[in-house]
Structure 1
Amino acid sequence: MTELVTGGEAIVRAIKAHGVDTVFALPGVQTYPLMDALKRAEGSLRVIGPRHEQAAAYMAMGYARATGRPGVYSVVPGPGVLNTGAALCTAMAVNAPVLLLTGQVPSGFLGKGRGHLHEIPDQRATLSSFIKWAERIEDAASARALVDRAFETMTSGRPGPVSLEMCWDRMAQKGPVTDADIPAPAQPAAPDPAQIAAAATLLKSARHPMIMLGSGAQHAGPEVRALAERLNAPVTAFRGGRGVLPADHSLSVDSVTAYDLWGDTDVLIGIGSRCELQAMRWRGMMDPSDRITAERRLIRIEIDPEEMLRLKPDAGVLADSAAGTAALNDALAAEGIARTGDPQRIAEARTHAREQIAQIQPQVAYLDVIRKALPRDGIFVKDMCQAGYASYFAWPVYAPRTYITSGYQGNLGFAYATALGAKVGCPDKAVVTVLGDGGFMFAASELSTAAQHGIGVVAIVFNNQAYGNVARDQITNFDGRTVASDLPGMDYMKLAEASGVAGHRVATPEALGPILEEAIAADKPALIEVQIDLDAETTPWPLILRPDLPYTP
């Protein structure tokens, strides 16, 4: 059936055909036809309006990270799009499928440089330089095909953000649009038997293999578990791969334990991972080339062929992580290879790691209280703060997509808006985010968004009246001189009241517990301020960046 509809209506019909149920949007004149189409579709499509464009993009990213489905947002072109640049970079870092829908100057002004409203020289080229794909919809009739391509691009291979723009006059013009079936998703190629055989050969003589997981392994839990149990291999992750193997599995180890086991590890199996821990954070453990040191061998199961060039493996398997891991396990089974690792060695390293982690106080005490209150499948979003850094190793993760970070971008202030998006995508799950007072203020205006839309995120703000990490670095490295790292006092209870959310203030882990439990049970927006002294916080960085030699039992 063919109908005459506006470009905005054509876009909305197309995203609905792909199952989109939520759009995070901040409207403006260049996107009015799209906004009107969203309004007309509100019975089947929810629109969440934030207070800042950057928040719209972070919400879409949080939605995508928590659900595994594409997150969609819309802002005006030019400054609106640029305001979301940090979130788009973050979506690239964490492999989140995010779709930006934006406008453009009127078609007659494209490329003219006349200074039309919100014009930048080449928006499409600018976006293409740091996201996965960007394109322009020329008219309503071509909208469906380009939306289909956008969904295929952002979800296939290594997922990532994409963008579609449309000139505001073309977005208002009507054109013929025909309903069509969604194209079948492209299927990744099956693992190459020769590559699998090469990886299996390396594992034949392995005594102490280790498995390193990244975001690309989020869907590969059963396959990872089968391989780990065959090899008795410890399974670790730094950020994106946490929870693929539950933290209470005997072979799941945090990054501190993994470092203690690294000294005599002879084969590293990276699955959907950049292997950042081993290649970048464990300083002194790499040779000058882009390879793991000669004492160890590296196997990589990775869907992105360029990754094989960035960190060169001894045996590379170019495949989807689940399919590649399953194929490797089958090859090992056929060879009769099993139980190469040493469970006692893992248990001893775990005990030693717990002793080290327990020294990071009071952050670990607070994390323990939060973990006890948050259900097993609850979602935890950490910002760039002292408790957040400690969570890299001190926060047990029991399920995929329940530990959300900003990946290698490490950008301050992303977490609150991201947590809101995660809650919108997973309304039946509890969502808690930990933030510093500095990072929280990047998005504090979104408290009113949470109140307006009833988004039940619990925000725990650790208030040490500083950009704590920067202040500590300045004090340590520049003879105590600090600049622009101290923050003024803020009455967060008044801020919460003014925004329409519940506010609480505590100063100890013991006081946090019951208040947090009540806030989670209420399933309403809440702000909990934790008053803390910067000097009382033990730095977690010696357990993250490791210049020392691995522990040997």
Structure 2
Amino acid sequence: MVTYRTGGESVVAGLKAHGLTTVFGLPGVQNDWLYNAFYDAGDDFRIIHTRHEQGAGFMALGATMATGLPSVCNVVPGPGVLNAGAALATAYGLNAKLFFLTGQVPQKMIGRELGTLHEVPDQPGLLRSLSKHYDRVTHPAEAGTKVADAVRALNTGRPRPVTLEVPMDVLAMRAPVPEESPVATEPDELIDAEGIDSAVSVLAGAANPMIFVANGAQDVSAEVTALAELLQAPVVGYRTGRGIVDSRHPLSCFLPEAKPLWAETDVVIALGGSARSALQGWGRGARTLIRIDADQTVHGRYGQPDVAITGRLESHLPVLLDALRAKGVRGPDRTERMGRVHAAWRERSAVLDQQIAYLSVIREALGDDGVFVDELTQIGFASRIVMPVHRPRTFLSTGYMGTLGYGFPTALGAKVAKPDTRVLSVTGDGGFLFAATELATAVQHGIGLVTVLFNNSQYGNVQQMQRDLYGGRVIATDLVNPDFERFVTSFGAGYALAESPAALAPALDAAFASPGPTVIEVPVGDMVSVDRFR
């Protein structure tokens, strides 16, 4: 059966068929016929229109990081793509399921450098470099299939952004198309039985194994915890691995906390991540390395693994656990040993008492399930190594990309995706102003995010390095800020001032009780740097 649709209608039908009905984006002339189709779809879609393309990209990033489900960002070509490029790059670094849907100039104008509105040289080349899958729709009849292909790529192998480009003339073109949009299915995954057997043989003889987890393990929290308990192996999560094992579990370790255990570790188990911090920073030595990762190209990085299993953890960890139990593998109880490790870390990290005081208040206010979004600021850096995290996908980090200013818009997207969950963004005054105008988006769409703004009128981390490492050559890091109370309230958002951890607690209670966005300003001076723990 066929029907007649525009290219825009065909794309929208494809998105709807896959449940991708929340779109973060901005309309523009190259996407007019896409937004006409969104309009005609009525309540089937929720369009969160932002004040800048970077906001759309980061909000889509936050939505997928908080849920593990695909999310959609839509922008115009050229400047729109470039404005959202930092979010696309960050999503690539974070292995995020971001569906990047972009317009393009008319087909006959592509690549001709005729000065067509929003034309840039080789937009496909740029998008291919930041996506695991790129395609272009050239006729309405193929739109549904190409949406399905993109979704299949999102859900197969290593998660990373996918890009679909639709020229403006294709969006407007009306043509016969299949009545039903195809729906992507996931292929059955083969289990590497030989790899499992090899891993079991290694682990059966391990005296002191250590497990490293990253975002590839976010959806196997129960299985990772069970593996740790079976082997009595410490589990280390840094940045994207926080919360996979509850920080209250005796075997859960912050990254620097685990470093003293490295000398006695004989087997390293890397699950859904590279374990780069340890293997590159601490040195591999004679340790046996087991990797389970959806991306086979990871295996040879930071040292060739002794056992390399390519596949999803969701499929392979249950099989590994069953095989270990069948063989009777069980490590000796390490509760007492880990208690000493945790006590030593509390003593060492006490130098970060100012950050810990604020983070403790935030942790209490969020509860176990609240979502915390870090930022490139001293509070954010400290949170990675001292803040307890109790659930997977509740600690969102920029990872190795280190994208200053990502936190506030990313947290807005997380709150859109999880409206009934407490979501909190910590930010500095420098990073906040990268995307602070998205307060208008938050107010307009009723996004009840709570933001704690630590204000020291500096790009504080950079200035601290200028003073400590470069003989006091302070340049381009002092900031003149707006009156944040007047700035925030001018958008119609809530504002509070908290000048101490004790004052922050009631301010957070009031902010979380409000249906709209709230910014809590915390004036601070210099804080002790976390760099000493690298």
Q: Could you say which TM-score interval applies, normalised by the shorter chain?
A: over 0.9
d(CA) in 2 for partners of 1:380, 1:427: 14
Matched, 1:10 2:2: no
Query: Which has the larger displacement, 380-389 or 201-210?
Result: 201-210
- Retained in 1: the 8 A contact 2:488–2:519? yes
Structure 1 residues 299, 341: CA separation in 2 closer, same or farther (over 3 Å shift)? farther
- Retained in 2: the 8 A contact 1:388–1:434? yes
Paired residues for 1:495-510 under 5 Å: 495-510=487-502
* Aligned residue number for residue 316 of structure 1: 308
d(CA) in 1 for partners of 2:454, 2:418: 25
- Cα deviation for residue 380 of structure 1 reads 0.3
d(CA) in 2 for partners of 1:401, 1:18: 22
SS in 2 for 1:309: coil
- Retained in 2: the 8 A contact 1:430–1:523? no
Structure 1 residues 174, 462: CA separation in 2 closer, same or farther (over 3 Å shift)? same
Matched, 1:452 2:453: no
Compute the RMSD of aligned alpha carbons.
1.3
Letter in 2 for 1:387: I
- Retained in 2: the 8 A contact 1:154–1:161? yes
SS in 2 for 1:42: helix
Matched, 1:297 2:298: no
Matched, 1:187 2:188: yes
The list of structure 1 runs, each at least 4 consecutive aligned residues, that deviate by more than 3 angstroms after superposition, is none
* Aligned residue number for residue 19 of structure 1: 19
Query: What count of residue pairs does the alignment treat as equivalent?
Result: 532
Letter in 2 for 1:272: G
- Cα deviation for residue 494 of structure 1 reads 0.6
1:168-187 deviation digits (Å, cap 9, x = unpaired): 11210101122145132123
d(CA) in 2 for partners of 1:194, 1:419: 42
- Cα deviation for residue 473 of structure 1 reads 0.6
Matched, 1:196 2:188: no
d(CA) in 2 for partners of 1:42, 1:494: 36
Paired residues for 1:313-352 under 5 Å: 313-340=305-332, 342-352=334-344
1:145-190 deviation digits (Å, cap 9, x = unpaired): 0000000112211111111111111210101122145132123321
Paired residues for 1:74-93 under 5 Å: 74-93=74-93
Structure 1 residues 453, 444: CA separation in 2 closer, same or farther (over 3 Å shift)? same
- Cα deviation for residue 103 of structure 1 reads 1.2
d(CA) in 1 for partners of 2:309, 2:508: 45
Paired residues for 1:463-542 under 5 Å: 463-534=455-526, 537-542=527-532
Structure 1 residues 73, 495: CA separation in 2 closer, same or farther (over 3 Å shift)? same
* Aligned residue number for residue 45 of structure 1: 45
d(CA) in 1 for partners of 2:236, 2:294: 19
- Retained in 2: the 8 A contact 1:423–1:429? yes
* Aligned residue number for residue 159 of structure 2: 159
d(CA) in 2 for partners of 1:35, 1:250: 52
Structure 1 residues 408, 187: CA separation in 2 closer, same or farther (over 3 Å shift)? farther
Letter in 1 for 2:529: T
**Which of 407, 416, 419 lines up with 1:424 in the alignment?**
416
* Aligned residue number for residue 119 of structure 1: 119
- Retained in 2: the 8 A contact 1:260–1:353? no
- Cα deviation for residue 42 of structure 1 reads 3.0
Query: Which has the larger displacement, 115-124 or 422-431?
Result: 115-124
d(CA) in 1 for partners of 2:487, 2:295: 45
Give 5+ residue unaligned stretches, structure 1.
287-291, 546-553
Paired residues for 1:70-469 under 5 Å: 70-178=70-178, 179-190=180-191, 192-280=192-280, 283=281, 285-286=282-283, 292-294=284-286, 296-311=287-302, 312-340=304-332, 342-469=334-461
- Cα deviation for residue 361 of structure 1 reads 3.0
d(CA) in 2 for partners of 1:267, 1:21: 45
Query: Which has the larger displacement, 226-235 or 418-427?
Result: 226-235
d(CA) in 1 for partners of 2:371, 2:377: 17
Letter in 2 for 1:526: T
- Cα deviation for residue 334 of structure 1 reads 2.2
Letter in 2 for 1:79: P
d(CA) in 1 for partners of 2:40, 2:350: 55
d(CA) in 2 for partners of 1:131, 1:451: 32
d(CA) in 1 for partners of 2:238, 2:189: 26
d(CA) in 2 for partners of 1:227, 1:275: 17
SS in 1 for 2:464: helix
